[in-house]
Structure 1
Amino acid sequence: MRWLFLSPVGVVGGAERTLLDLLDCLRRAPETPQLGLLAGAEGPLTEQARALGVETRALPLPSELASLGDSQLRGAGVGHFLRFGTSLARATPAAAGHLRALQRALRDFRPDLVHSNGLKTHLLAALCAPGAPVVWHLHDFLGERPLVRRALRVAGVRAAAAIANSAAVAEDARRVLGRVPVYPVHNGVDTERFSPGPADGARLDALAGLPPAPEGTVRLGLVATYARWKGQEVFLQAAARLRERLSSHAVRFYVVGSPVYRTPGSQYSEEELRASAHALGLEGHVGFIPFQAEPSGIYRALDGVVHASTRPEPFGMTIVEAMACARAVVVSAAGGAAELLRSGQDALAFSPGDVQGLTEALARLVREPELRARLGEEARHSVLARFTRERYAAQVRDVYTRVLGGRT
């Protein structure tokens, strides 16, 4: 038996980290079928998949198609839709060529099951009709996508099942996809890779190009891609308020990430965020660290990890990774992110976009070191009980068993 995984990208964001964890767990299991990966570009994803021993090939997604996305159309006016239509028309010939190449690759691999890990590959796999059951792994709220949700509802006739990374995403997907069976499966984390360990705050300062922080400095950071809804502006505004409120405390802030995806207009640039920090009087108090392929050391070096998404989060891998490292986490608790914590027990919560609420939570972490320690300890226990990657892979394989009629 042969299982083929499709990714529209070659970078490693949250969805791609969960894919790599799944591949690693599946290959370790007894009687695992042959695993293959087709990615839309060469990059860290393909490199790491090959290192796992997965048969991997890059099928480059044309730039016209890779940069096409409708996330920026939420609540947009007619002009945005017209520009999107023009981009779509330009992408159509390239998409047709890519579709033919994907059909050839599917014939060559002869999969018994296809697992698609991104919206673009959901649609492409449906159009290719490979003859094998197709499972869509949903990492987004489909109802928020004005065009994609309609396309996926039509293409759903080719989907044997969908896996949703949270109950919130599953509920949304059922409304959009109609008869497609949707199974909620929380993502998992490698609890050996993401585990408690020594905190190297000096390394954070060096990566950010800042002078060493004074002894006893409390380090607070947000780790996320530069997508505009990930809340970097909210974090910076809360940091400015916290400095005014707790001027006698030594606190340093870190923004960790990069604009890793190719859809234009959907991400901040570092220059924009630095300009915001300057306008808020945070120069010298906030450090910018580019995307880190190995973020576990970043989490351990922080005294508090902030998740500040301004929209409901489908899941929130950084939340679970930081919790696994026994860090105190402050979470914008909406959507799937709200399913990950017990507020006040293993994390602190605030409402999306609530700068004052985030400021209050951060002030507690700064003033109460014993709270930071207790939250971190409970967070680690929660991850071991609920979010291991072994549990995650087993539940995904259960979906495969259903789709294949018991043959895995």
Structure 2
Amino acid sequence: MLTVALFTHSARPSGAELFILRIASAMHTVRPLVVLGEHGPMEEHLSARGVETLVLPLPPELTEPANLRTRARAPRRAWHYARELGEALRHAGVDVLYTHSAKAHLLGGLAGRLTRIPVVSHAHDLLGPPARGRLGSAISRGIFAVLPQRRIANSDLTRRSAGWASRLPWEIVPCPVELPLRRAAPRRRGQEDGLSLLVLGRLTEWKGQDLAIRALASVLRSGRNATLDLVGDAQFAGDVDYRSSLEELARSLGVSERVRFRGHSDDPGAALRQADIVLHTSLRPEPFGQVVLEAMAEGRATIVADSAGVVERLTPGGDCLIYSMGDADALASAIATLIDSPSERKRLGRAARWTAEEFTSQQVVPLIERALHGSWQQVPTGGRSAGTATLTTTDTLLKFK
């Protein structure tokens, strides 16, 4: 059986890491080995699902905030780490390396070239603006053009963000969703609370929780009744300032009693089940938008910014409502529509669940396994032995962090 190493630099359960958790535990035609660049919560999550894990910690020069010292040492440490990673993969009998984060695409791509292990790189984030600046975009696109044997994107939006590299062969594979055994009705609150709106995700500016607060204020001014739950927490220093700005915005709009900061949840499904309407409020094009599918799997009526990659696979007006990204008035109007029509909320929830059933691991994982087997079959037999490859682009690529 083909042994595949799924590599990410982070052990925190965010988008790409949760993707790995779901697909690794559902693989049948390959043997998965998850390689993490640090110790963290993902080790326990993977172990609970019986997934073999290897931790190869990144050196501080590749994890600490950039300064003159780390910037000077980063290229050499990246090269050494790639060699160590390649040796570890060979020792583990890995046939294909499957990378899932920006650092993993670079370090894993180099390791694959050094050891002649074929590399499949899966883009979970945009490879160009606004997610990255001009230099970061050029480097990200160069990495995807040069290092992997095969490329996967979670949406066509993500593929197009590769710019000139988007003209190379790509495969589009959506994110999987875990379906609850059955849809649950939202927990009913007191009549004075009105309908429950929910934004689920890390508190950070581009996720647009401020847009939801502005839309709530507009809904309340129209005489309708609703509350807003923000489930998620600040993870970085800048995010803490953003949370403070959200609290101040709610006070200035007179809706602070209607906005509830719930903090991080280890059970996002429970938060979704308690909501009447789930809002997707990102303020920049989102590569996919897993939380949208998670809400739909729970049978929740969902309102989605029209720039999310997942919209490519949805039926606006059929299984969700969409609005123009960043438009608080348009979002408020969509919310008002669903508040005024309980039958429409129920219809959207039923249709959403049906759509989510098309994105289970049973549908998605075979697409991935086919790509992994294909990358192995593409490599000539003589090229599968360990060796050293010459990388003419190494000096440029090693600058990527």
Which of 288, 295, 298 aligns to 1:322? It is: 295
> Alpha carbons of 1:289 and 1:63: their partners in 2 closer, same or farther (altered >3 Å)?
farther
Question: Which residue does the alignment assign to 1:159?
Answer: 148
Partner SS state of residue 159, structure 1: coil
Partner SS state of residue 38, structure 1: strand
Partner SS state of residue 147, structure 1: helix
Q: Give matches, 1:126-145, under 5 Å.
A: 126-128=109-111, 129=113, 130-144=115-129, 145=132
Partner SS state of residue 6, structure 2: strand
State the alpha-carbon separation in 2 of the partners of residues 177 and 140 from structure 1: 14
State the alpha-carbon separation in 2 of the partners of residues 406 and 40 from structure 1: 28
User: How does the TM-score come out when normalised to structure 1?
Assistant: 0.83
Shift of 1:269: 4.4
State the alpha-carbon separation in 1 of the partners of residues 160 and 246 from structure 2: 34
**C-alpha distance after superposition, 1:216-269 (max 9, x if no partner):** 6200011112232111111111111111112xx431111111234x6x647864
1:393 aligns with 2:370: no
Which of 142, 158, 175 aligns to 1:187? It is: 175
State the one-letter code of the partner of 1:191.
L
CA contact 2:37–2:55 (8 Å) conserved in 1: yes
Partner SS state of residue 151, structure 2: strand
Shift of 1:376: 0.3
Which of 278, 295, 299 aligns to 2:272? It is: 299
Which of 234, 251, 268 aligns to 2:226? It is: 251
Partner SS state of residue 278, structure 2: strand
Shift of 1:21: 1.1
**C-alpha distance after superposition, 1:328-358 (max 9, x if no partner):** 0000011413214211111111011001100
Shift of 1:282: 1.9
Identity of aligned residues (%): 30
State the one-letter code of the partner of 1:372.
R
State the one-letter code of the partner of 2:234.
P
Question: Which residue does the alignment assign to 1:73?
Answer: none
Partner SS state of residue 337, structure 2: helix
CA contact 2:142–2:165 (8 Å) conserved in 1: no
> Alpha carbons of 1:39 and 1:305: their partners in 2 closer, same or farther (altered >3 Å)?
same
State the one-letter code of the partner of 1:23.
A
1:49 aligns with 2:74: no
CA contact 2:285–2:308 (8 Å) conserved in 1: yes
State the alpha-carbon separation in 1 of the partners of residues 83 and 330 from structure 2: 51
Q: Which has the higher contact order (CA 8 A, sep 6+)?
A: 2
1:381 aligns with 2:354: yes
State the alpha-carbon separation in 1 of the partners of residues 341 and 347 from structure 2: 10
**C-alpha distance after superposition, 1:199-228 (max 9, x if no partner):** 3366xxxxxxxxxx5466200011112232
Partner SS state of residue 371, structure 2: helix
State the one-letter code of the partner of 1:189.
V
Q: Give matches, 1:65-104, under 5 Å.
A: 65-66=62-63, 88-89=71-72, 91-92=74-75, 95=78, 98-104=81-87
State the one-letter code of the partner of 2:228.
F
CA contact 1:169–1:335 (8 Å) conserved in 2: no
State the alpha-carbon separation in 2 of the partners of residues 285 and 64 from structure 1: 45
CA contact 1:174–1:182 (8 Å) conserved in 2: no
Unaligned runs of 5+ in 2: 380-401
State the one-letter code of the partner of 2:196.
R
Question: Which residue does the alignment assign to 1:235?
Answer: 212
Aligned residues: 372
State the alpha-carbon separation in 2 of the partners of residues 124 and 276 from structure 1: 42
1:348 aligns with 2:321: yes
1:199 aligns with 2:186: yes
State the alpha-carbon separation in 1 of the partners of residues 172 and 109 from structure 2: 21
CA contact 2:64–2:70 (8 Å) conserved in 1: no
State the one-letter code of the partner of 1:133.
P
